[in-house]
């Protein structure tokens, strides 16, 4: 499976569907340490993403740019700018971006790693968070690192490694004391709760395994 427009649209559609399924869970997580709106905000934003007409876009990069802008304009709180920045950076660096020819099949896995790394850098620049702050970065950073480490084994293997690392990073937020975002206002009381941003991020990589990597397990 190539990282073409159809695959990226399928990824966003699948992620949007999973956000709807997990909306209440995300709301409950965010109610414990935040404003309680993460699930509703993400669901609303990706419903708008799913409504985008793929025919209107000439390339995955064009589509991902619109995804990012849509999220910035429709998702409330910090999640809109952070997820929006992630997808805007993906748009700039997606395999084949800036070229008249799509990336060669053999180069796609490594090229996607470059795009994911750019997305992580963008999120960290925008949110000023590092691993251990109890944010989406706690899932995103290990996911990108795991992808890069496994990239030599092919796209499906690298995406599965990234999804597993994101899930582990999500779970690792539970004992952390938040140092960024609304949860940081709680101080020590934020410990013992799973971060909602890391949870939605882990879902993003899990759906990438299916839509981009062909993982149907």
What confidence score (pLDDT) does residue 106 get? 45
Q: How many residues make up the chain in this entry?
A: 217
Q: Does domain 5-211 have CATH number 2.130.10.10?
A: no
Domain ranges of the chain: 5-211
CA distance 121 to 96: 20
Helix ranges, 1-75 (H): 5-33, 38-50, 60-74
pLDDT tens digits for range 29-82: 999 999 999 999 999 999 999 999 999 999 999 999 999 999 999 998 899 999
**pTM of the predicted structure, to 2 decimals:** 0.93
Tokens describing residue 180:
């960024």
What tokens appear for 192 in the block?
């013992």
**Other CB atoms within 10 Å distance of the CB of residue 125:** 11
Given this model, what pLDDT does residue 199 score? 98
Which pLDDT score, from 0 to 100, does residue 213 have? 87
Q: What is the mean pLDDT of each run of 10 residues along the chain (217 residues)?
A: 91 98 97 94 97 97 98 92 98 81 64 97 97 97 98 96 98 96 89 97 98 77
Q: Which of 212, 204, 111, 110 is nearest to 153 (CA)?
A: 110
Residue 75 has φ and ψ, to the nearest 5°, of -95, 125
Give the per-residue pLDDT at 98: 65
Locate tokens 């990226």: which residue?
8
């Amino acid at each position: 499976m190539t990282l073409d427009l159809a695959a990226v649209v399928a990824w966003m559609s699948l992620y949007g569907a999973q956000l709807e399924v997990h909306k209440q869970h995300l709301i409950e997580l965010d109610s414990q340490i935040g404003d309680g709106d993460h699930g509703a905000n993400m669901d609303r934003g990706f419903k708008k993403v799913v409504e985008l007409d793929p025919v209107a876009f000439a390339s995955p990069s064009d589509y991902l740019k619109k995804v990012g802008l849509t999220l910035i304009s429709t998702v409330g709180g910090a999640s809109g700018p952070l997820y929006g920045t992630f997808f805007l950076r993906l748009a700039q660096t997606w395999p084949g971006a800036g070229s008249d020819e799509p990336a060669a099949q053999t180069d796609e896995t490594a090229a996607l790693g470059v795009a994911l790394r750019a997305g992580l850098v963008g999120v960290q620049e925008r949110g000023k968070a590092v691993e251990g702050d109890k944010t989406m970065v706690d899932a995103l950073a290990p996911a990108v690192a795991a992808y890069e480490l496994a990239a030599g084994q092919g796209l499906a293997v690298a995406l599965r490694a990234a999804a597993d690392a994101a899930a582990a990073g999500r779970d690792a937020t539970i004992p952390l004391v938040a140092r960024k975002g609304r949860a940081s206002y709680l101080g020590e009381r934020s410990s013992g709760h799973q971060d909602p941003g890391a949870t939605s991020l882990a879902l993003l990589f899990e759906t990438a395994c299916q839509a981009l990597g062909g993982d149907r397990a």
